[in-house]
């Protein structure tokens, strides 16, 4: 069974968010990486991009297919995990730690609404199992 980390919020499209003050670390869930299979390429967003919750911001490619990754929260991209350009399979090996995708400075006006749309780890677990 897929690992679902406590302390994170999840989107129904299988992205996770870890909020620390006004910055959120974002990635894809263990369930998502299992469904994709071994990743061979990750296209990261550009630093400085302003995004709205639901926008496609990344592409992950596996030997099976390519998939868009959507941002679960609005704000400005402030950092990307450049290590993934050479080692995209870190997302498979460590989706919640070394395999994070990007960091986003939260949009104060939309943050609360965006966060309310996301699921707790318990809700996500029920969503994935059902």
Q: Please check whether residue 111 lies inside any domain of the structure.
A: no
pLDDT digits (tens, 9 = 90+) for 36-85: 999 999 999 999 999 999 999 999 999 889 999 999 999 999 999 999 99
Question: Is there a contact between 80 and 44 (Cβ–Cβ < 8 Å)?
Answer: yes
Q: How far, CA to CA in Å, does 39 sit from each of 14, 51, 74?
A: 16, 24, 26
Q: How many domains does the chain have?
A: 1
Q: What is the pLDDT of residue 1?
A: 74
* CATH code of residue 33: 2.40.50.100
Q: What is the mean pLDDT of the chain?
A: 94
Its pTM stands at 0.94
Question: Can you give the residue range of the structural domain that contains 71?
Answer: 9-106
């Amino acid at each position: 069974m897929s690992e679902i980390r406590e302390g994170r919020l999840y989107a129904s499209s299988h992205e996770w968010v870890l909020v620390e003050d006004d910055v959120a670390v974002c990635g894809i869930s263990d369930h998502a990486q299992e469904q994709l299979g071994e990743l061979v390429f990750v296209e990261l967003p550009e630093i400085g991009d302003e995004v709205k919750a639901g926008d496609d911001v990344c592409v992950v490619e596996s030997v099976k297919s390519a998939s868009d990754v959507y941002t679960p929260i609005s704000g400005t991209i402030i950092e990307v995990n450049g290590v993934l350009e050479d080692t995209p399979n870190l997302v498979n090996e460590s989706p919640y730690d070394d395999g994070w995708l990007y960091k986003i400075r939260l949009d104060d006006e939309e943050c609360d609404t965006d966060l309310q749309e996301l699921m707790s780890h318990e809700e996500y677990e029920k969503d994935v199992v059902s």
